[in-house]
Structure 1
Amino acid sequence: MRVLITGGGGFIGSWIARAMLAAGHDVRIFDLHDERRMMGMIVGEATASAMDWRTGNIADTGTVELAAKDCDAIVHLAGLLTPACRADPLNGVSVNLVGTLNVFLVARKFGIARVLYMSSAGVFGADASGEPRPVTHYGAFKLACENSAAAFWEDDRIASIGFRPFVVYGPGREGGLSAGPSLACEAAARGQDYTIPFTGRFDIIHVEDVASAFVQALALPPEGARVFNLSGGMASAQDVVAAISACAPDVRIDATGNPMPITCPEPDGLIQVALPKWHARDLATGIADTISYHQARAGQTGAAG
């Protein structure tokens, strides 16, 4: 299957590309720039250099059409994160909502039967009700994308699955409101102190488990417009600090600041029903995997130098 990954040059996109290639799919990347640094880090320089890569603005329908031609499925990740949507809501709606509409319009034009897309736990607010009540522009745009996906199923029978992770961590995470745990792991691997800039409890999931969910969802029959909370497990900032400190006891890792402005609902088990082979690793394993990745990469870079 040829899979177009929009926003594929970033952190999550590179890990999904790696998982898709490992599953035997052809991958085409669509991103704003032909910038393969992250992809090279995750899939290897040679593989990244040889990839089918298209560039353009996700908000431009014609450009998205050119990228999607001859593809069998679309994984839609292109978007701006919370800080960028807060700073420029008009650009945020153009990229996050209009870009998503473009993906579905292109799927309709070419008869692409399925779209997998990244939503977010940002659709929830701080009231712990479990009902989508976003308190950020980013969350509002993501909820609008979910509702539009439902409309495309009703009107055009374009099947879709959206995933709502909260804190996604792992090698390569560099930006966004919740990047602190990933940056702390990288700092610890280098022997450097780091302060995670938020506290409280949150759901946290390793990026490889996110990628695995997308690969497994691609194999499902194209039916309906479904959205799943992609839960890795609840943890506190202090739990993250403790897990990192257990792997790197000689550095100082701590956390300070306000809690995240979102309270995730309790896991509902629906994703396990839809994807019975999918599971998320526990926090201690994921943190150890992340630190080990950075340590190995630092060793390779040092040897190469």
Structure 2
Amino acid sequence: MASFGLRPHVVYGPEREQGLTAAPSLAARAVAEGRTCEINYTGTAGYDYVEDVALALVRGALESPPGAHVVDLPGDEATPEAIRDMLVALEPSAAGRITVNGPAIPSNAPPERRLIQRLFPDWERVSLRVGLARTLEFYGWVKQS
């Protein structure tokens, strides 16, 4: 019997709109829609693109070897300021429209990392920059529809 547990970091991407750490996704949506936005927390965290999380859950359900497995995704670590800067680099018109303010979020680093590559050596993740670009693209498409 196989058991699979997944410990993602902050999940971001299209349609992530609930909770404190939805702010990077909401900021990307605001950029795509030409609005202002505040990322309402500070501090360094790991970030995992929503498609990576979904793929990990599907692979965990269908491909896990026998035994109990708990794994972490190898997300990018970043600050909200770095996310703001990436969004502005992707869409320069967003300069000055994204602010960062708020409390530091607690560290989400597990005591011992057990990367998903232990189970799936072929695992490839979406980088934070590419994930933010895909999120901007999604919300730009939604706006045009």
TM-score, structure 1 length as denominator?
Answer: 0.44
Provide the aligned length of Structure 1 versus Structure 2: 143
Verify the 8 A CA contact 1:198 1:260 in the aligned structure 2.
Answer: yes
Label 1:247 to 1:267 Cα distance change in 2 as closer, same or farther (>3 A): farther
Which residue does 1:153 correspond to in 2?
none
Instruction: Name which one, 1 or 2, has greater alpha-carbon Rg.
Output: 1
1:10 aligns to what?
Answer: none
Q: How far apart, CA to CA, are the structure 1 residues paired with 2:112 and 2:141?
A: 34
Report the RMSD for the aligned CA atoms in angstroms: 1.8
1:231 paired with 2:74, answer yes
- Confirm or deny that 1:283 pairs with 2:125: no
Residue-by-residue CA offset, 1:194-239 (whole Å, 9 max, x unaligned)? 1100011000011001111122223325522211122311111111
Whether the 8 Å contact between 1:181 and 1:196 is mirrored in structure 2 is: yes
Task: Output the amino acid matched with 2:42.
Answer: T
Q: 1:209 to 1:189 in 2, by over 3 A?
A: same
In the alignment, is the contact (CA less than 8 A) between 1:169 and 1:179 conserved in 2? yes
Determine the C-alpha separation between the residues in 1 that align with 2:56 and 2:10: 15
Are 1:210 and 2:53 matched, yes or no? yes
Higher helix share: 1
CA 1:266/1:232 → structure 2, altered by over 3 Å: closer, same or farther?
farther
1:258-269 → structure 2 map (5 Å cutoff): 258-265=103-110, 268=113
What TM-score, normalized to structure 2? 0.89
SS at match of 1:199: coil
The answer on whether the counterparts of 1:217 and 1:275 sit within 8 Å (CA) in structure 2 is no
Large movers: runs of 4+ above 4 Å: none
- The correspondence of residues 1-305 of structure 1 with structure 2, limited to 5 A, is 159-251=2-94, 252-265=97-110, 268=113, 270-300=115-145
**Runs (5+) with no aligned partner, structure 1:** 1-157, 301-305
Deviations 1:245-285 (A, max 9, x none): 11222231121111112341488463112112222111111
| Counterpart contact for 2:71–2:113, Cα < 8 Å | no
SS of aligned partner of 2:117 = helix
